[in-house]
Amino acid sequence: MPQTCLMSSKFDEHEEEIVTMRRARATWSRIAASLKARGVKISDGSEVRKWFLHARARAVRAEKETAPFVSVQLSPSLAPAVAPSIPPADAPRKRVIPPFKKKEKTPEEIENEKAWSEIDTSKMPG
């Protein structure tokens, strides 16, 4: 895990050993005993556990903060084999909306239209 803070810890130089032992399902007290045998001053396994969890949280936080700035490239296996075909701009388009069907006018509507068309609007103000 990359060091993202300015202050270093006594466990930073033993990071690979700690991660390897955790992957092998070693307990925190066993890891602490191993580090103590190497000369690292440790009171108990909880110190190692706290460091490990904080280091992991820092790494996750750093990854989230830098993710928008990392360019993503598709590997050849994920890239589409054939480019999608795009129809030319002048190609006829399929009609999506069905044509509007006019309903037949009732005799009353025909009468109203006739009455409105007979009104002389040239004599109206405005």
- Please write the tens of the pLDDT for every residue from 69-105: 665 555 666 555 666 667 777 777 766 666 677 778 8
Mean pLDDT computed over 40-46: 90
Write down the pLDDT at residue 73.
Answer: 59
Indicate whether 99 belongs to any domain: no
Cβ(18)–Cβ(11) under 8 Å? Answer: yes
Task: Please indicate whether residue 109 or residue 98 has the higher confidence score (pLDDT).
Answer: 109
Indicate whether 31 belongs to any domain: yes
Write down the pLDDT at residue 4.
Answer: 52
**Length of the chain (residues):** 126
Indicate whether 36 belongs to any domain: yes
Counted domains in the chain: 1
Indicate whether 33 belongs to any domain: yes
Indicate whether 63 belongs to any domain: yes
Indicate whether 80 belongs to any domain: no
Is 0.75 topped by the overall pTM?
A: no
Indicate whether 65 belongs to any domain: yes
Indicate whether 84 belongs to any domain: no
Structural domain for 60, as ranges = 12-69
Cβ(2)–Cβ(11) under 8 Å? Answer: no
Question: What are the DSSP calls for the chain, one per residue?
Answer: ----SSS--TTGGGHHHHHHHHHTT--HHHHHHHHHHTT---S-HHHHHHHHHHHHHHHHHHHHHHGGGSPP---TTTS-SSPPP---TTSPPPP-SPPPPPPPPPHHHHHHHHHHHTS-GGGS--
* Residue 100, Ramachandran bin (φ over 0: left; ψ between -120 and 50: alpha; else beta): beta
Write down the pLDDT at residue 28.
Answer: 92
